[in-house]
Amino acid sequence: MIFTRKTVKLLNYRLKSLDFARLSVHRCLQSSAAGDVPSVEVNFSNGRNMTISSGKLARFANGTAVCQMGDTAVMVTAVAKAKPTPGQNFMPLVVDYRLKNAASGRIPMNFMRRELGPSEKEILSARLIDRSLRPLFNKDYRTETQLVCNMLAMDAVHSPDILAINAASMALSLSDIPWNGPIGAVRVGLCDGEVLINPTRRELQSSQLDLVVSATKQNLVVMLEGKGNVVLMQDLLKAIKQGTREAQFIIQEIERLQKAYGRQKREVDFPNKVDTELQEAVRSMCEMRLREIFQDANHDKISRDNAVNEVRSHVIDKVWSSYPDTEPSVIGEEFNQTCRSIFRELIFERNYRCDGRDYDTLRNISCQVDMYKPLHGSALFQRGQTQVFCTVSLDSPESAMKLDSLAALDSGGLKAKNFMLHYEFPPYATGEVGRIGPLGRRELGHGALAERSLLPTLPHDYPFTVRLTSEVLESNGSSSMASVCGGSLALMDAGVPVSAPAAGVAIGLVTKYENNDTKHLQDYRILTDILGIEDYMGDMDMKVAGTRKGFTAIQADLKVPGIPLKVVMESLQKATDAKSKILDIMAEAIREPRKYPKDSWPVSETLNVEPHQRSKLIGPSGMHLKRIYLETGATLTAADECNFTVFAPSQAAMDEAKELIEGYMVKERIPDLEFGGIYTAKVTELRDTGVMVILYPSMPPALLHNSQLDQRKIGHPSALGLEVGQDIQVKYFGRDPVSGFMRLSRKVLQGPALGIPRSFNKAAGENGT
């Protein structure tokens, strides 16, 4: 048989593939048979422990780890492609995090009874993991990488998001994926001034602070995210320090496993190094013009971007004409690096920034409330070129967002949310054309941060559901913190009794360091109230929100592999000073919640209804309640056996609803009936269960049960010869205390009566009045 060269190559390729598959399976079986499963136990200072293991599950992944605390276990797999995607100019990291119903012994309650797309909570947790890991990847790493967080088991005690961060850290550390970890993450609580490490769900419910701290070795902070019930600054600083120290225990154990079981890291495929001559050509052609642009305080966002883009186009054209063998994209990337370098150099060289401010000065702020009369509350907040329009809508408690069982479990047992903040970022906010559709991860993250910032200021017993919308009309940095300021103004304009106004500010950072050593920074500058370009060119975006008394939310994202605690403390102090200045400006628009009501405000009242009057109010099949809602917009909800909550969209609607209610609840003159008295009753209807009788003309018919008609047991009233319109003698024993129905008896008049007949409770519950 004769084989062509092409056939021989194909056979060799298939044989190599089969050998590789056999070798992989053999290694997996050998590892499983040996029972060699790398595992460590991390012991925290409060006596709690966490177990991290690898090598038993999902062995085809580049790296796998299982992290367990209590009965909650999370498996994270790390897989990267063999080669980077050509033309990729960013680090394509994807984190998939899902809370599976099966992991907690539940069945999804959707129509398909399957796990569907990610929820808002899952998206936020995935962002939390991403922001903790991304800073430690090499800036030149361009290989597509995916982390999948698989919930193996969930209890009602420990949160799985912290376990997922630590499992991802170990999976990347043991894999061959180039990553400069490991990191450790802990959740920090605060109860009665005592710091709690990895608190349980029950402890979190009574904790003043819920803070996630991700850190790397040498006590360098990588990521912060948390919410607090107006936490004092000294308590927040103590929590961050303690959380950073506790994270070192996790890092030490992962490093120990990495040395023993870690795989050889791949070499980072660096992009083709640009010729030094080309670099000098790009810098010489653009440096003077860029310095002029970045020092001109008259530029705004649009004019500055246009000026830089004009320089970019000119440089690419001129350099490409001199170096025709070089791709224009390479020249453009070199221009971007030069532009970033010049921008950062100017911050260190001068005592003011590109818009003319010094490091601590806020942009110009203006506030306006009560924008439109139909709105319950509204505010327009402008800070520089960031403009946010906020509105407040108040509705009945039934409008609260109901959470499914799994979401309620992960949120600490909360079954419904009566405060929602919805953040919108349309494309025109940055002068762009784009698709308006479902919210992206960025919008969900910014909205959740602003909601956490304002929630502690709202009362717990507020009788309305509050929906706050924040629409970004212009954006040039820190739109989420502008949403906090505008949202607080709108809440006060709507008369919501907030405990105190809240404000937020973004703090930036520009650093100098060598050899990836951010522990010993050569120099750094902390920037207050950063612009969009300072966020893009800088190293940190720390968003801090709170009242004058303390903090309500914090979120710190870094682009460098960690910063010292000293820099974190200085940044928080600058945020505190800026927050106080912003609150002073906001107070000029409105100082406290509005006291006098607006015509557009909804109203809520409690209506007391006697048990025997409930049927009159509700009507047949709820007809009266439906009519009240359709004609007035008011809704009635049963609070308990004797009270209804009446919600109306306005006072006029409430007055109209009251008129209808009074019509249904007309109290006619009722004669005083004496307990034990004997009265003449008229039969109005014969039923299988008894006869309907009235004691006076305006009385609604009451049921005289078969068991109370005669001393003998009867199956139908006709057996006694009773007819409609006939008068009979009955004895009155008052009303049932639960149902309010009359208790009548005829048989006690036919023989000796020894008190109220025992069968009254049964008879009163069958169609009586």
pLDDT tens by residue, 102-112: 888 888 877 78
pLDDT tens-digit map of 326-385: 888 889 989 999 999 999 999 999 888 999 999 999 999 999 999 998 899 999 999 999
User: pLDDT: is 276 or 132 the higher one?
Assistant: 132
Residue 761 has pLDDT above 60, yes or no: no
Strand partners, 369: 379
Dihedral angle computed from the Cα positions of residues 531, 534, 536 and 539, in that order, rounded to the nearest 10 degrees: -130
CATH code, domain with 734: 2.40.50.140
Residues 646 and 636 sit within 8 Å (Cβ to Cβ): yes
Residue the block writes with tokens 């790009």: 282
Lowest mean pLDDT among 17-21, 297-301, 709-713: 17-21
- Per-residue pLDDT, averaged over 189-205, amounts to 92
pLDDT tens-digit map of 243-269: 999 999 999 999 999 999 999 999 887
pLDDT tens-digit map of 524-543: 999 999 999 999 999 999 99
Note whether residue 130 is domain-resident. Answer: yes
**What element of type H or E holds 629?**
helix 623-632
Residue 23 has pLDDT above 70, yes or no: no
Q: What's the Cα-to-Cα distance from 638 to each of 208, 294, 397, 465, 654, rounded to whole Å?
A: 34, 64, 12, 17, 17
Nearest to 47 by CA among 69, 71, 73: 69
145 secondary structure, DSSP code:
E
Does the predicted model carry a pTM greater than 0.75? yes
Lowest mean pLDDT among 150-159, 169-178, 376-385, 486-495: 150-159
> Do residues 138 and 221 both lie within one domain?
yes
Note whether residue 357 is domain-resident. Answer: no
- Per-residue pLDDT, averaged over 393-411, amounts to 73
- Tokens representing 270 are 């660096």
Task: State which of 349, 382, 410 marks the end of a domain.
Answer: 349
> Do residues 518 and 635 both lie within one domain?
no
> Do residues 642 and 733 both lie within one domain?
no
Say what the pLDDT of residue 757 is.
Answer: 60
Residues 556 and 381 sit within 8 Å (Cβ to Cβ): no
N- to C-terminal Cα separation, the chain: 101
CATH code, domain with 392: 3.30.230.70
Nearest to 338 by CA among 283, 272, 276, 281: 283
Task: State which of 324, 349, 374 marks the end of a domain.
Answer: 349
Note whether residue 672 is domain-resident. Answer: no
Say what the pLDDT of residue 231 is.
Answer: 94
> Do residues 698 and 569 both lie within one domain?
no
Note whether residue 682 is domain-resident. Answer: yes
What type of residue is 22? R
- Per-residue pLDDT, averaged over 266-273, amounts to 78
> Do residues 580 and 440 both lie within one domain?
yes
CATH code, domain with 639: 3.30.1370.10
> Do residues 43 and 78 both lie within one domain?
yes
- Per-residue pLDDT, averaged over 90-111, amounts to 86
Interatomic CA distance for residues 629 and 617, integer angstroms: 13
What's the mean per-residue pLDDT of the chain? 87
Q: What's the Cα-to-Cα distance from 390 to each of 467, 506, 724, rounded to whole Å?
A: 10, 19, 66
**DSSP codes of every residue in 687-722:** -SSEEEEESSTTSPPEEEEGGGT-SS--SSGGGGT-
Note whether residue 557 is domain-resident. Answer: no
Decide: helix, strand or coil at residue 628.
helix
Say what the pLDDT of residue 37 is.
Answer: 65
pLDDT tens-digit map of 535-581: 999 999 999 999 999 999 999 999 999 999 999 999 999 999 999 99
Residue 346, C-beta contacts closer than 8 angstroms, at least 6 positions apart: 291, 294, 295, 354
Residues 213 and 161 sit within 8 Å (Cβ to Cβ): no
> Do residues 480 and 410 both lie within one domain?
yes
Nearest to 221 by CA among 566, 631, 702: 566
> Do residues 333 and 479 both lie within one domain?
no
- Per-residue pLDDT, averaged over 689-712, amounts to 87
> 405 falls in which pLDDT band (50, 70, 90)?
low
pLDDT tens-digit map of 457-491: 999 888 889 999 999 999 998 899 999 999 999 99
Q: Compute φ and ψ for 431, nearest 5 degrees.
A: 70, 35
Interatomic CA distance for residues 501 and 493, integer angstroms: 11
Nearest to 491 by CA among 378, 604, 580: 378
> 712 falls in which pLDDT band (50, 70, 90)?
confident
| Helix (H) and strand (E) counts in the chain | 17, 29
> Do residues 579 and 507 both lie within one domain?
yes
Note whether residue 76 is domain-resident. Answer: yes
Residue 74 has pLDDT above 90, yes or no: yes
Q: How many CB atoms lie within 10 A of CB 43?
A: 11
Q: Percent of the chain, pLDDT > 90?
A: 57
Rounded (5°) CA angle 137-141-142: 130
Q: Is 654 left (phi over 0), alpha (psi -120 to 50) or beta?
A: alpha
Nearest to 390 by CA among 502, 454, 483: 483
- Per-residue pLDDT, averaged over 191-196, amounts to 91
β-pairing, 702-705 vs 690-694, is antiparallel
What type of residue is 259? K
> Do residues 154 and 211 both lie within one domain?
yes
CATH code, domain with 280: 1.10.10.400
Interatomic CA distance for residues 215 and 185, integer angstroms: 6
Note whether residue 769 is domain-resident. Answer: no
What type of residue is 596? Y
> How many folded domains does the chain comprise?
6
> Do residues 450 and 332 both lie within one domain?
no
Residues 170 and 65 sit within 8 Å (Cβ to Cβ): yes
> Do residues 526 and 497 both lie within one domain?
yes
Say what the pLDDT of residue 486 is.
Answer: 97
Q: Percent of the chain, pLDDT > 70?
A: 90
Note whether residue 670 is domain-resident. Answer: no
- Per-residue pLDDT, averaged over 211-221, amounts to 95
Alpha-carbon Rg for the chain, nearest whole angstrom, is 36
Say what the pLDDT of residue 542 is.
Answer: 96
β-pairing, 523-528 vs 465-474, is unpaired
Alpha helices in 380-420, H assignment, sequence order:
405-410
Task: State which of 316, 349, 382 marks the end of a domain.
Answer: 349
Which residues span the domain enclosing 720?
678-764
Residue 26 has pLDDT above 90, yes or no: no
- Per-residue pLDDT, averaged over 137-165, amounts to 92
